[in-house]
Structure 1
Amino acid sequence: MFKLCVFVPVSHVEQVKQALFAAGAGRLGDYDCCSWQVLGTGQFRPLDGSQPFLGQTGVVEQVEEYRVEMICAANCIEAAIAALREFHPYEEPAFDVWRLEAALMQGSLRA
């Protein structure tokens, strides 16, 4: 099991979430379309050779983005990342993937 976290501009958050759900991410037991999101401000500067969706080469850009998190089973993480890259508007989407401990997910460890 993995946890996927991606930063998405407000204009595309639902599109990206739906693509991730369709790829199998966001499933937990008898539930699907599970995610968590919070609005924040992202910052970046496009460098020479980039083709930015937002902003101008060489200029620092700040944009409202959602941080979207969801879990994803190992058998669909590659499909989820492919969907993220296909439906995210940025040339280089910012995301990370964390491996979750199976024992914790199954509730076998006690605090």
Structure 2
Amino acid sequence: MATRFKLVFFSPKESTTSILSHLFAKHPQTVGRIGNYQSCAFVTPGVGQFLASDGAKPAIGAVGELERVDEDKVEVVVRDEGESREITEAITALKEVRPYEEVAYEVYRMEPF
């Protein structure tokens, strides 16, 4: 039986659609697929904040200044056939297209019931 994971990440509002399009195009059978539905995601608006430290190269804001950004929290299901290959590939694809220097993400294993 396949394992399912939930991948949660944060994106500037203006980048969310392009990030999701990239993930769904690159992994149409595993990312955002729930039963007979594809390109499934849940997007919640919010405000993220960060303070870039010395050595950082922020895409938004400046080193030493607190930055607040309108962001989306994005949740997608990732179907994994084993050995965590598909979730690892989904994270790699997310990192390829992210607009930020660092990508904040979370991964949860979903239990079957």
State the one-letter code of the partner of 2:95: R
Equivalence for 1:78: 88
Tell whether 2:46 aligns with 1:40: yes
Q: Distance in 2 between matches of 1:49 and 1:2?
A: 33
Q: Identify which of 11, 18, 21 aligns with 2:14.
A: 11
Matches for 1:21-100 after TM superposition, within 5 Å? 21-22=24-25, 23=27, 24-75=30-81, 76-100=86-110
State the one-letter code of the partner of 1:60: L
Equivalence for 1:109: none
Q: Distance in 2 between matches of 1:87 and 1:25?
A: 15
Q: Distance in 2 between matches of 1:15 and 1:86?
A: 12
Higher alpha-carbon deviation: 72-81 or 28-37: 72-81
Bigger proportion of residues as strand: 2
Q: Measure how far apart 1:20 and its partner are.
A: 1.7
Structural RMSD (CA): 1.0
* Helix, strand or coil at the partner of 1:28: coil
Equivalence for 1:107: none
Q: Measure how far apart 1:93 and its partner are.
A: 1.1
Q: Measure how far apart 1:79 and its partner are.
A: 1.5
* Helix, strand or coil at the partner of 2:106: strand
Higher alpha-carbon deviation: 84-93 or 67-76: 67-76
The one-character-per-residue Cα deviations of 1:58-102 (angstroms, maximum 9, x if unpaired) are 11100000001010012421111011001010011111000111x
| 4+ runs deviating over 3 angstroms | none
Q: Measure how far apart 1:21 and its partner are.
A: 1.3
The number of residue pairs the alignment matches comes to 103
Q: Distance in 1 between matches of 2:52 and 2:24?
A: 30
